[in-house]
Amino acid sequence: MSARRAVRDAKADEDPDAEAAAHRAVDDAKRALGERGPAWWKDGAPDFNRQMAKNTPYAAWYADILRSRH
């Protein structure tokens, strides 16, 4: 969270160097948490990360969720 706050603060200060450093810190944190980078699991299932749900086998499930919200 401190890295995200640093991004916010750098934008408010209009400091592009500080903003770039803060974005790198956010990326480093997300990679450390396993949110970015190569898949860390080895179950053989295809990785649909970074794809729109409507373009995956989960399309019907996602459409049902959208319908239930309206």
Residue predicted with more confidence, 40 or 64: 64
Q: What is the average per-residue pLDDT within 53-66?
A: 92
Q: Which is more confidently placed, 21 or 48?
A: 21
pLDDT digits (tens, 9 = 90+) for 9-38: 999 999 999 999 999 999 999 999 988 888
What pLDDT is attached to residue 40? 77
**Confidence band, pLDDT 50/70/90 cuts, at residue 63:** very high
Residues 6+ away with beta carbon under 8 Å from 22: 3, 4, 6, 7, 9, 10
pLDDT of residue 29: 95
